[in-house]
Amino acid sequence: MKALAHPLRLKVIVALNEKELSVQELVESVGTTQSNVSQHLTIMRDKNILSSRRVANQVFYRVGDCKVLDLVSLTKKIFCQIDDSQTNKSE
């Protein structure tokens, strides 16, 4: 769970929700440097959260365990409901 706690790692998981992406595509998707993304990808790959494959000089990542996507989806639903209820109270 700690490996998913960083906001950038969550962005990466969300970006990988529907398909595998190259490191460069992830850099563009999450809006940070390749070095930063690569560090986080290594952590998540080492924890078996992500899987990777190499094609020539590109590395592609995908979510290695669908339970991770389920967890992120559930977390998103919970926090979106909290945001919605707080917005309604302030109106």
Structural domain boundaries of the chain?
Answer: 2-90
Q: What is the pLDDT of residue 25?
A: 97
Residue spans of alpha helices (H) in 1-91: 7-15, 23-30, 34-46, 66-90
Tell me the pLDDT band of 87, cut-offs 50, 70 and 90: low
Residue 61's pLDDT band, with cuts at 50, 70 and 90, is very high
Q: State the CB neighbour count (10 A cutoff) for residue 68.
A: 20
Average pLDDT over residues 21-50: 94
Architecture of the domain delimited by 2-90: Orthogonal Bundle (1.10)
What Rg do the C-alpha atoms of the chain give, in angstroms? 15
What is the average per-residue pLDDT within 13-41?
93
**Is the four-CA dihedral 24, 22, 72, 50 of positive or negative sign?**
negative
Judged against a pLDDT cut of 70, whether residue 49 lies above it is answered with yes
- Residue 90: per-residue pLDDT: 54
pTM of the model: 0.75
CB 65 within 8 Å of CB 48: yes
**pLDDT exceeds 90 at position 46:** yes
